[in-house]
Structure 1
Amino acid sequence: MYRLGIDVGGTNTDAALLDDQLSVIHTVKVQTTKDVESGIFNAIKKVVEESKIDRRSIKYAMLGTTHCTNAIVERKRLNKVGVIRIGKPATTSIPLFTDWPEDLREKIEAASTIISGGYEFDGRLISELKKEEVLDFCRESKGNVESVAISGVFAPVNKEQEQIVAEWVKDELGDIPISLSHEIGSIGLLERENATILNAALMTTGQLIVNGFAKALRELDIEAELFFSQNDGTLMNDVYALRYPILTMGCGPTNSIRGSARLSGVQDAMVLDAGGTTTDIGVLSNGFPRQSSLSVNIGGVNTNFRMPDILSIGLGGGTCIRESNQLITVGPDSVGYEITQKAILFGGDELTASDVVTRLGQAFEGHEEQVAHLPIDFCQQVYEKMTEMLEDAIDQMKTSSKEVSLILSGGGSVIVADSLKGVSNVIRPDHYDAANAIGAALGQVSGEIERIYSLTKLSREDAIRDAKKLATEEAMKAGADESTVSIVSVEDIPLAYLPGNALFIRIKAVGDLVS
């Protein structure tokens, strides 16, 4: 029984085969194609043919993809969304789509309204729902909306009003995709609302991802169960991915972190994932990526759903190098997936970071002649500048002045020096260049819950017990085997600024795939 992991990057698409002991059998790297789907097909075909395994023995297939990120950044393939906020009169002073980039709002907004309703932090009612407000909105927007986003004040504490409004919308608009904020974001209303709107806008893109992956496997006669990488380092099944496409955002660096942990055997370290376009730096903590505690900006929109704490810089194997008036500039532009056509070492005329390290004898053995004309002193200067950029980025991600272990991953990490300031040792494990695909194939399944409890009627222990139960249920919905689910993190914070002895609880549960 094998696992197949695929990770789509801006330059390369990687594929990895793992056996039932999670040992790496074979990895391949192909160019990412303009339509992305062809690159996925090519990677799967190549890894199966080269490994010579029986494709019928592949039980699980996992995909980490940039589709959703690209859709938002490029403002393409986005649904027209009808947005309903449950929060009148409490939230009417803050408009919907506050601080959104105008071009993104124009692409997404079909109609929006604020209706009566909402809850206090402890679940007490602010005001009653009014069904006629929902029906009026649906009748006015019918035919214009492709999906609906519903968010309510303190919905993560009490989800009932969101669910009722969703039923009314379905009765009026039929079987339309609906995103509910209590299932996506955490407590803050505006950031949670924004994440819910983006999720609703990505419904068509999510469908394309799932269908495209399924089609590639079908055409290659692979009957495997489909899973998709989430941005917390775990997996979700195809049903879950269709409902929450936004959770695939940022999964590339996360997969690299998970894969690096497996390949190196190290559970706590810093991970540097260098591709052809960017270098992503994250922190490995107990085998999982350190999560960001800040709101996450996606395409100019602030959101608050879970995301890894990642620092990205414009430096990779395809980064363009230029000199003007004796001033050297490194990036941030890159030749990307066209590196094999445009870089000097491959016969092109664009000077890249890969050309520099090849001239210094550190990579791409056999291509030295193509770069022999590059001045060695100039290349050394460029290399020092690149190293400084990496050292500064690593320093920004550290929480103390102590030296840290650094695990390298990604094909672009050939540009990284073996010795860096602030780093105790640089680890370059076997198969490091395909760590992202390996991380995708490794994944367990998770569920996470964030909720505020009032301790006037129940104890802290009872509140945590309830949150653990909810997190376990979320993991099972995503495809986890109930018998393997365990709680991996518990965080509870007293909220002194709220009345009623309030307690914020965040819990994460993780389990193995159903065998």
Structure 2
Amino acid sequence: MHIGIDVGGTNTDAVLMAGDRVLATIKTATTQDVTTGIRDALDGLAEAHPFAPGDIDVVAIGTTHFTNAVIQASGLAATAVVRLGLPAAAGIPPLTGWPARLRSAIGEHVHLCHGGHEFDGREISPLDPDELKRVAEDIVACGVDSVAITSIFSPVNQEMELAAAEILRAQVPWLRISLSHEVGRVGLLERENATIVNASLLPVADRITGAFHAALVKVGIEAPLYLSQNDGTLMDAEYVRRYPVATFAAGPTNSMRGAALLSGLSDCVVVDIGGTTTDVGAVVGGFPRPATTEVDIGGVRTNFRMPDVVSIGIGGGSRVVLGEESVVGPESVGLRLHTEGLVFGGSTLTATDVAVAGGLADIGDPTLVAHLDRARVRRCLDAIARRVGVLADTMRTSAEPIPMVLVGGGSVLLPDSVPGFDKVVRPENYAVANAIGAAIAQVGGEVDRVFSAADGSRGDILDKAKDEALRKAVLAGADEDTVRVVEVEELPMAYLPGDAVRVRVKAVGDLVLGGTR
């Protein structure tokens, strides 16, 4: 058996599964101390379907901890930024365009150093060890423990990042170092930003993974802990400690994976409505479609792997002003829905109250919303359906019909038909699709590199990339017999010499369970 948990802004959902079979589900209120909510969810599962802690093979958790830490600029580590590229790339220094609150949280520890490569692999300038040793002295003097190293065109040649890390670590052995070629993609500023965000989150990652382990131990579960990452696969706790930024948008990703399983549809548009937001994404071949553009995280432009998701501030906890032209959201009561919503005896009119008044949901005490004007309630619900339908329509890539799958506890806000979609599916256990997505997630390996003609023929290059992706998946914990390639993407890079091509390959496999590895 295995457990999936998804921590949202309003609810913490958990599911107990045996293979693809759902044994028990539970939805509890997210607590200010999120790990307490996880313990409550585990206790609820044990009550719904008693199990021995030793029978659990794996616990997979999707969490918003790291995203929230960046958005709120809370708990981030002071981070030194080392860019290798002088005398080039000095015109726009690191942290340019960052919100003031984030710059203040991580500090202004910026170091421009020699090094880097041209797009064709030629050195911009040699690495200067003495220069980096002076940087190490400054890092120690400022009391900084986290460092983000970015070299120009390191996705083409990462040698200088690796060498710089070795020099700094030799001077300051306790440094936590993030390297840009391991975090982001081609595009200096966005890749650098992603690396800085990752480095600033490293102590948060230690604290959160430790708290999750403690929550499991408290209820007697000693199974391996995995966290969801934003491509629909899992990573173990040690990987999270190195790359916490990979957890961003794991919630919507889990929902999309869970929706695909529950609906039996490998290609669909998924609408996930929670307590605060509506997230809409596309599933292609059973996995979330990745975004192809830069992603804004807390006001910082980044280019690491993220799902293609669009969101609006409509959820079950959204505040509502009911009138001739009703206003829904974006403000939400969030995790206080269970005490502030009218149907729960509170004094705030929420979208959940409107859904109950309109007969779409049976939650709380319907008599507490019986006084609401029925015509205004109907117009409000119609407006919500139209807004979601328009948002979902942006996920189309062609005029061909595509089904919509509704999941999330807040999906009770929508009727069984949505404008623009011929087929709308609300599968069984839709309210905990996010936790199911976490529970069934596989283990993945990805390669995203620039190859040239010197690396062989097109077939040789693709075979080399596929083999590397398959190997990475197995090393990450996938069962070798189940690993397969699910995505191959080639992008010719006309501005690079030697018939260069960027190749991205993703492989996934089932997690090794029960000590059979």
TM-score higher than 0.5: yes
- Partners of 2:364 and 2:108 lie apart in 1 by 56
Deviations 1:138-175 (A, max 9, x none): 10121421211111112122222111111111111112
Name the residue aligned to 1:269: 268
* RMSD (Å), alpha carbons: 1.4
Name the residue aligned to 1:505: 503
Name the residue aligned to 1:480: 478
Name the residue aligned to 1:312: 311
Identity %: 46
- Partners of 2:380 and 2:207 lie apart in 1 by 41
Deviations 1:77-99 (A, max 9, x none): 10100111111122222211122
Deviations 1:458-504 (A, max 9, x none): 22222222222332333234322334322111111221222221111
- Partners of 1:447 and 1:149 lie apart in 2 by 23
- Partners of 2:5 and 2:506 lie apart in 1 by 25
Deviations 1:63-114 (A, max 9, x none): 1000001000001010100111111122222211122112211211351112
Name the residue aligned to 1:25: 23
1:351 Cα deviation after fit: 0.9
- Partners of 2:250 and 2:363 lie apart in 1 by 32
1:505 aligns to what SS in structure 2? Answer: strand
Deviations 1:330-365 (A, max 9, x none): 111111111111111111111111111111222125
Name the residue aligned to 1:202: 201
1:424 aligns to what SS in structure 2? Answer: coil
- Partners of 2:99 and 2:32 lie apart in 1 by 26
1:295 Cα deviation after fit: 0.5
Number of residue equivalences: 512
- Partners of 1:125 and 1:458 lie apart in 2 by 23
1:397 Cα deviation after fit: 1.8
Name the residue aligned to 2:126: 128
Structure 2 alignment gaps of length 5 or more: none
Name the residue aligned to 1:72: 70
One-letter amino acid of the counterpart of residue 274, structure 1: I
| Residues 1:371 and 2:349 are matched in the alignment | no
One-letter amino acid of the counterpart of residue 384, structure 2: M
Say if 1:224 and 1:91 are closer, same or farther in 2 by CA, change over 3 A. same
Say if 1:501 and 1:366 are closer, same or farther in 2 by CA, change over 3 A. closer
Is the CA contact 1:404–1:422 (under 8 Å) kept in the aligned structure 2? no
- Partners of 1:472 and 1:366 lie apart in 2 by 49
Is the CA contact 1:187–1:451 (under 8 Å) kept in the aligned structure 2? no
1:404 aligns to what SS in structure 2? Answer: coil
Say if 1:366 and 1:73 are closer, same or farther in 2 by CA, change over 3 A. closer
- Partners of 2:276 and 2:69 lie apart in 1 by 18
Is the CA contact 2:276–2:334 (under 8 Å) kept in the aligned structure 1? yes
Name the residue aligned to 1:351: 349
| Residues 1:413 and 2:411 are matched in the alignment | yes
Name the residue aligned to 1:298: 297
- Partners of 1:365 and 1:234 lie apart in 2 by 33
Is the CA contact 1:7–1:64 (under 8 Å) kept in the aligned structure 2? yes
TM-score, reference length from structure 1? 0.97
Name the residue aligned to 2:252: 253
TM-score, reference length from structure 2? 0.96
Name the residue aligned to 1:438: 436
Deviations 1:367-423 (A, max 9, x none): 221111111111111111111111111122222333321111111000011111211
- Partners of 2:84 and 2:495 lie apart in 1 by 23
Name the residue aligned to 2:512: 514
Name the residue aligned to 2:279: 280
Is the CA contact 1:122–1:454 (under 8 Å) kept in the aligned structure 2? no
Deviations 1:247-266 (A, max 9, x none): 00000000000011111111
Is the CA contact 2:84–2:112 (under 8 Å) kept in the aligned structure 1? yes
Name the residue aligned to 1:227: 226
Name the residue aligned to 1:166: 165
| Residues 1:360 and 2:368 are matched in the alignment | no
- Partners of 1:323 and 1:60 lie apart in 2 by 46
One-letter amino acid of the counterpart of residue 248, structure 1: T
Is the CA contact 1:450–1:506 (under 8 Å) kept in the aligned structure 2? yes
- Partners of 2:109 and 2:160 lie apart in 1 by 20
1:14 aligns to what SS in structure 2? Answer: strand
2:383 aligns to what SS in structure 1? Answer: helix
Is the CA contact 1:277–1:336 (under 8 Å) kept in the aligned structure 2? yes
- Partners of 1:144 and 1:188 lie apart in 2 by 30
Say if 1:468 and 1:125 are closer, same or farther in 2 by CA, change over 3 A. farther
- Partners of 2:89 and 2:473 lie apart in 1 by 33
One-letter amino acid of the counterpart of residue 145, structure 2: E
Say if 1:367 and 1:253 are closer, same or farther in 2 by CA, change over 3 A. same
